[in-house]
Amino acid sequence: MNLNQDFDVIVVGSGLSGSWAAKEFCEKGFKTLVIERGRMVKHIKDYPTANMDPWEFEHRIHKTRADVELNPGIGEHYAFNESTSHFYMHTGEQDYIQEKPFQWIRGYQVGGKSLLWARQTQRWSDYEFTSPQRFDYGIDWPIRYKDIASWYSHVEKFIGISGTKDGIDNMPDSEVVGAFEMNAVEKHIASAIHQHYPDRKAIIGRCANLAGIKEEQIKQGRTQCMARSMCERGCPFGGYFSANSSTLPYAEKTGNLTIVTDAVVEKVLYDEKLQKATGVSVIDTKDRSKKVYTAKVIFLNAATLNSNLILLNSRSSYFPQGLGNKNGLLGKYITFHNYRGTIGATMPGFEDKYYYGRRPTQVFMPAFRNIHSEAADFKGSYLIAFSAQRETWKRELDNMGLGAAFKDALSEVGGWKVSMMMQGEVLPREENHVRLSDSQVDKYGIPQLITSVDYDDNDIAMMEDFFKEGTAMLRKAGCENIYTVDRHESFGRQPGLEVHDMGGVRMGHDPQTSLLNAHNQMHHCKNVFVTDGACMISTGNQNPSLTFMALTARAADYAATLMKTGEL
C-alpha cells in the first residue's frame, strides 16, 4: 500500500456536511484532505443540462421505462429524470441487500447530494431535543438548542436562507435573506387555518434558495434564485447552496484543501497501542489499487448509511464489531421521515389570480401534535407542507383538436388544485438497523450493507391523524373534492425515498447507550467524529440538513481547539 501522512484532518465525503467540515478546518489553517468516492464536479462547468430546454432531451426530460427498470430505487425519486440522471449513483455501483424494502438514494460525486437536495431548512428547538426523554421513546440528547443556536446562525448567514421571521417557539427563526411569497390561494388557506386554529400558523417555507442576497453570498460569486425549478441539474447562478458553489470553493482558496476523487474508503484504521485512529484505507475505483492516508483527526461525512458501513467494516482485534462499537449498537436505531400521507383538493374561485415563476418551496405548518402535550394515539410529531397551483390544461388532449385550436387550448388555465403532505417523525427502534453481509461483497470487495428498516403502527396512526387534521383544515378553508392517499399502500413508496435516513452512530451522554458524545466525537476513539445524519438520536419533524451542517461546524470548532492544545 502507498502511504500519505501529510494531513491534519481527513474528511470522508464532500457533500453538505463534509464540505462544511472542510471549510471550517481549512479556514483554521489545518491541512485537510477530502476523500470522495465519486468523480470531480466543478461548479458551472460540470452542470451539462443546466440550461437545456425540454426539446433538447431525447425523451423530453421524462424518465423511461428502461430507466426505472434498470434503477428500481432511484427511478422512483422525485428529482430523478433525464436531466439529472448523471448526479445519481446507478444500480451496480454499490450493491446492497434489502432485508426489508428500502430505497438507498446516493449521489457519488464531489458535492454529493448537495446537488440534489430539496433545500428546505428549518431549525430544531428544545421541543425536538427533549422530546425523546419527555415522551419516552429514546435516549436523551446530550445537547439543547442553546448549544447549537449560534451554529445555526453561523451556517445560515453563509449559505443564505430564504424565509420570514415568524416567532414560533418550536421552529425558531433563522437568519434570512428575504422570502418567497405565497400565492393568493395559499394566503387564503393560511389565514383560514389561523382563524379556526389560533395555535397553528402556516408560513412560507425556509429554504437555501436566495430569494434575496446579502454581501456574504455575493462574495461567494452567487446570484439570486431565478425560480426556474431546475435546481437538481446544478445551478449555474449559485442561486441555492451546494458544496460545489459555496463551501468547497471557500476551503480551496485557503490553499489548505486537497480533494481526492474516485476513492472508496473501505475502513478507518485503528492503532491499539496508540488507542486512536491513524488514517483510512481507500480503494481506487478505476484500477482497484489500495492506498492509506493518515491524519490526526478523521471526520466521517459519507452520508448516514455509508458512514455506518465504513465503521462496521473498520474491524480490528480491539473492535471486532466495528470501530468504537463496544456496546453493539453501531448500525442500530436507523430512522427516517414518514412521507406516507398526502391530501389533494380543489379550491373554487380565485380565477382572476395567478403567480410568477416556479417557487422552490412550499407553505409549511410547524408541528402542533406532541409539542405541548402528548397525543393519545401516537408518539413523535409531524409538520405539514402545502401548495396551490392552477391547472395548466382545461381539457383532455383528445378534445383539443389540431393546429391553432390545439395551441390556444394549451395556453388556457384551469382551476386551482391544492396538494398537502406530511413530514412525520419515525421513532428510533433498535430493530430498524443496518449490518454487514457475511457472504456477499460489492464490486470493490467490501461487504454489502443489509438494510432492515420499515414503518410501524405508530407511523400509520400519525398518518391517520394527519388525514383527519389536514382534511378538516382544508374544508374550513373552503376546499372541495378532498381526498387522501397513503403513498406506501397505493404506490409502494418505501422508506429511503425521502432521503432523510438518520441514526446508527447516535450521540448520547452514556457510552453504554450511544457511540458519540455531545461534540460528535466517538466515545471509544477520540479522534474520529461523525457529523452527518448517522449521528442523530431522533429525527424531529423538520428537514434535517441544516442541523447536520450546524453540528458539523460546531464539532469542527471543538476538534480544532483540541488539536491546537495537543489533546488530539
Q: What pTM does this model have?
A: 0.96
343-382 residues labelled b (16+ CB within 10 A) or e (exposed): bbbbbeeeeeeeeeeebbbbbbbbbbbbbeeebeebbbbb
Grid cell for residue 99? 432485508
Q: How far apart are CA 464 and CA 341, in angstroms?
A: 8
Handedness of CA 209, 213, 219, 222 (dihedral sign): positive
Q: How far apart are CA 64 and CA 49, in angstroms?
A: 17
Determine the structural domain holding residue 201 and report its residue range: 2-564
Nearest of 440, 436, 466 to residue 449 by alpha carbon:
436
User: Are the C-beta atoms of 505 and 530 separated by less than 8 Å?
Assistant: yes
Contacts of residue 510, defined as CB under 8 A and 6 or more positions apart, other chains included, come to: 139
For residue 534, the SS3 value is: helix
- Give the count of domains, the chain: 1
pLDDT value, residue 6: 81
pLDDT value, residue 349: 96
Helical (H) or strand (E) element with 528: strand 525-530
Residues facing 14 on adjacent strands: none
Q: How far apart are CA 413 and CA 122, in angstroms?
A: 34
Grid cell for residue 537? 438520536
pLDDT value, residue 65: 81
pLDDT value, residue 375: 85
Grid cell for residue 398? 383528445
Other Cβ atoms closer than 10 A to 427? 22
pLDDT value, residue 396: 53
pLDDT value, residue 293: 97
Helical (H) or strand (E) element with 27: helix 16-27
**SS3 labels along 209-239:** ECCCCCHHHHHCCCCCCCCCCCHHHCCCCCC
pLDDT value, residue 568: 93
Residues facing 450 on adjacent strands: 97, 435
User: Are the C-beta atoms of 363 and 194 separated by less than 8 Å?
Assistant: no
pLDDT value, residue 1: 47
Environment class of residue 289 by beta-carbon count within 10 Å: exposed (0-12), middle (13-18) or buried (19+)?
Answer: exposed
Beta-strand pair 332-335/502-504: antiparallel
Nearest of 465, 428, 557, 547 to residue 172 by alpha carbon:
547
User: Are the C-beta atoms of 74 and 89 separated by less than 8 Å?
Assistant: yes
Handedness of CA 158, 161, 166, 168 (dihedral sign): negative
Which residue has cell 425523546?
A: 132
Grid cell for residue 447? 461487504
User: Are the C-beta atoms of 546 and 156 separated by less than 8 Å?
Assistant: yes
Q: How far apart are CA 334 and CA 336, in angstroms?
A: 7
Helical (H) or strand (E) element with 306: helix 304-313
For residue 57, the SS3 value is: coil
- The single-letter DSSP state of residue 478 is T
CATH code, 62: 3.50.50.60
HSE (side-chain half, CA atoms, 13 Å) at 506: 31
HSE (side-chain half, CA atoms, 13 Å) at 534: 33
Grid cell for residue 475? 374544508
Q: How many residues does the chain have?
A: 568
User: Are the C-beta atoms of 299 and 11 separated by less than 8 Å?
Assistant: yes
User: Are the C-beta atoms of 392 and 148 separated by less than 8 Å?
Assistant: no
Beta strands in 348-443 (DSSP E): 363-365, 382-390, 416-425, 433-441
pLDDT tens, N- to C-terminus, the chain (568 residues): 455 568 999 999 999 999 999 999 999 999 999 999 999 999 999 999 999 999 999 999 988 888 878 777 788 888 999 999 999 998 888 899 999 999 999 999 999 999 999 999 999 999 999 999 999 999 999 999 999 999 999 999 999 999 999 999 999 999 999 999 999 999 999 999 999 999 999 999 999 999 999 999 999 999 999 999 999 999 999 999 999 999 999 999 999 999 999 999 999 999 999 999 999 999 999 999 999 999 999 999 999 999 999 999 999 999 999 999 999 999 999 999 999 999 999 999 999 999 989 999 999 999 999 998 888 899 999 999 999 999 875 445 555 566 777 666 666 778 999 999 999 999 999 999 999 999 999 999 999 999 999 999 999 999 999 999 999 999 999 999 999 999 999 888 899 999 999 999 999 999 999 999 999 999 999 999 999 999 999 999 999 999 999 999 999 999 999 999 999 9
Q: How far apart are CA 84 and CA 63, in angstroms?
A: 10
Grid cell for residue 13? 465525503
Residues facing 417 on adjacent strands: 346, 389
Helical (H) or strand (E) element with 297: strand 297-300
Rg of the chain in Å (alpha carbons): 24
